[in-house]
Amino acid sequence: MPLDTGAFADGPGHGQKPASSARARIVLDTSVDVGAALRAARQSLGLALGDISETTRVRERHLAAIEAGLIDQLPSRPFSIGYVRAYATALGADADTTARVYGNFLGLLSTWAAPWAAIMIASAEPTTERRTVSIDLREDWPTALRESGFDDTKPAAWSAEGLLMYLPPEAQDRLFDHITALSAPGSQLATEYHPDTGPTMGERGRAMNDRWANLGCDVDLSGLFYEGERNNVADYLTDRGWDVSSRTRRELFGEYGRVFPGDDALAAFRNIVSVIATATGSQKKGG
Ligand SMILES: C[S@@+](CC[C@H](N)C(=O)[O-])C[C@H]1O[C@@H](n2cnc3c(N)ncnc32)[C@H](O)[C@@H]1O
């Protein structure tokens, strides 16, 4: 596992707590899993979670969540990284590196790799084979999908999240036309739309970008957004025979027992509507 247990020096014997003045120097190999590395180090020092909690003033349940990779049981990202820093410090490990690696890990989870990283963390066995298809959704992606084995006689699951603003309005419609044509009855589609796209899109994009720039992101993502009036996704899918349900972001958060933050940082996302649609078999196949 990711811990070099042979590499601590001047530390206490097994079963003793590290004294703050003569703290063990241990080396965590965080290349696989920071939480697992922390747990292995703690156990190798004979320390209980309660000992770490006492030293760091971080609640035991949060320390346990860090060890188990249960990030949904942790508070916000800065707090979580702070906890990991404190935990590593309490063990006498390199707190800066551990915190940085953990921050990268959280960043990874919140972006493209989220579903796969979650599966890896849960050590779940996937029941399907993953095949990636590199395509531009403005082009003929259904052919590429079919050529790599997609079977449109079986129900499919589609997710188009955080994507639509990167497509011109007409490509957004074409995307849903193709999905409609490829969807056997029972197929499910998860997507979302901004009711206030169009003229305000560029403005909101720039506001988001300014915020990200302040956080150190030097890529102007708003330059990738397409402006222009768009069809309302829920209406568009309903018109094509999908059984559609929509929820506001606040409702969605509420269903997961969470409160949508009211601060300005998320203002650009406040009005997003989440859409779930089921193919009924009576869709109008246009794509
Ligand atoms: C903000 S991310 C959405 C992340 C996604 N929900 C996930 O969990 O992986 C936007 C995604 O849109 C993709 N994208 C943008 N324009 C595209 C296009 N023309 N064709 C295909 N993918 C595109 C980008 O590659 C990126 O992965």
Pair of tokens at residue 41: 């180090």
| DSSP per residue, 247-264 | EEHHHHHHHTT-----SG
Judge contact between 39 and 65, C-beta under 8 A.
no
Q: How far apart are CA 251 and CA 194, in angstroms?
A: 15
User: CB of 221 closer than 6 A to ligand 1?
Assistant: no
Residue, of 19 and 79, whose pLDDT is higher: 79
Q: What is the pLDDT of residues 38-74, one digit of tens each?
A: 999 999 999 999 999 999 999 999 999 999 988 878 8
Residue 114 CA, closest ligand 1 atom number: 8
The burial of 139, by beta-carbon neighbours within 10 Å (0-12 exposed, 13-18 middle, 19 or more buried), is given as exposed
Strands (E), 11-105: 25-28
The alpha carbon of 177 and the centre of ligand 1 are apart by a number of angstroms equal to 18
Is the CB of 162 inside a 6 Å radius of any atom of ligand 1?
Answer: yes
Both tokens of residue 156?
Answer: 């499919």
Q: State the Cα–Cα distance between residues 132 and 152, nearest whole angstrom.
A: 17
Query: How high is the pLDDT of residue 206?
Result: 75
pLDDT score of 10: 30
How confident is the model over 252-281, as a mean pLDDT?
A: 81
Copy the structure tokens of residue 3: 């811990």
Mean pLDDT, rounded, for 130-155: 93
Residue 262 pLDDT? 73
* Ligand 1 atom with minimal separation from the 115 CA: 8
pTM (predicted TM-score):
0.60
- How many whole angstroms separate alpha carbon 202 and alpha carbon 98? 38
* 137 C-alpha to ligand 1 centroid (Å): 9
H helix or E strand, kind and range, residue 9: strand 3-9
Q: Please report the atom of ligand 1 found closest to the CA of residue 160.
A: 6
**Separation between Cα atoms, residue 143 and residue 150, nearest integer Å:** 9
Q: Which amino acid residue places its CA nearest to atom 26 of ligand 1? A: 163
* Token couple for 42: 């703690």
Q: Whose CA is nearest to atom 9 of ligand 1?
A: 112
Q: Report the mean per-residue pLDDT for the chain.
A: 80
141 lines ligand 1 (CB under 6 A): no
The percentage of the chain sitting over the pLDDT mark of 90, rounded to a whole number, equals 44
Least confident range from 27-36, 119-128, 193-202, 207-216: namely 119-128
Pairing relation of β-strands 157-160 and 188-193?
parallel
31 vs 4, which has greater pLDDT?
31
Q: Which residue, 39, 28, 92, is CA-closest to 69?
A: 39
- Is residue 167 pLDDT above 60, yes or no? yes
Whether residue 166 has its Cβ less than 6 Å from ligand 1: yes
CB of residue 114 inside a 6 A radius of ligand 1: yes
CA–centroid distance, 163 to ligand 1, in Å, is 5
Count of CA atoms in the C-beta half-sphere (13 A) of 197 = 22
The per-residue pLDDT for range 126-137, each reduced to its tens digit, is 677 888 899 999
68 lines ligand 1 (CB under 6 A): no
Atom of ligand 1 nearest to the CA of 137: 20
Between the CA of 247 and the centroid of ligand 1 the distance, in Å, is 22
- Write the residue with the smallest CA distance to atom 2 of ligand 1: 162
Query: Ligand 1 centroid to 16 CA: how many Å?
Result: 50
Measured in whole angstroms, the distance separating CA 19 from the mean position of its chain's CA atoms is 38
Phi, psi of 190 (to 5 degrees): -115, 125
Q: What is the reported pLDDT for 19?
A: 36
* pLDDT at residue 24 tops 60: no
> Lowest-confidence range among 109-113, 190-194, 279-283?
109-113
Rounded Cα distance, 11 and 16, in Å: 9
Q: Is the dihedral of CA 62, 66, 68, 72 positive or negative?
A: positive
The band of 278, judged by pLDDT with boundaries at 50, 70 and 90, is very high
pLDDT of residue 116: 59
Pocket test for ligand 1, best of 109, 112, 208 (most atoms within 8 A of CB): 112
- Residue keyed to tokens 């349940």: 61
CA nearest neighbour of 238 among 269, 199, 283: 283
pLDDT in tens, 199-245: 666 777 777 777 777 766 777 777 788 888 899 999 999 999 999 99
Domains defined along the chain, listed by start: 3-121 (1.10.260.40), 141-279 (3.40.50.150)
d(CA 107, CA 127): 26
Q: What is the mean pLDDT of residues 23-44?
A: 77
Kindly state if the Cβ of 247 falls inside 6 Å of ligand 1.
no
What spacing in Å lies between the alpha carbon of 160 and ligand 1's midpoint? 8
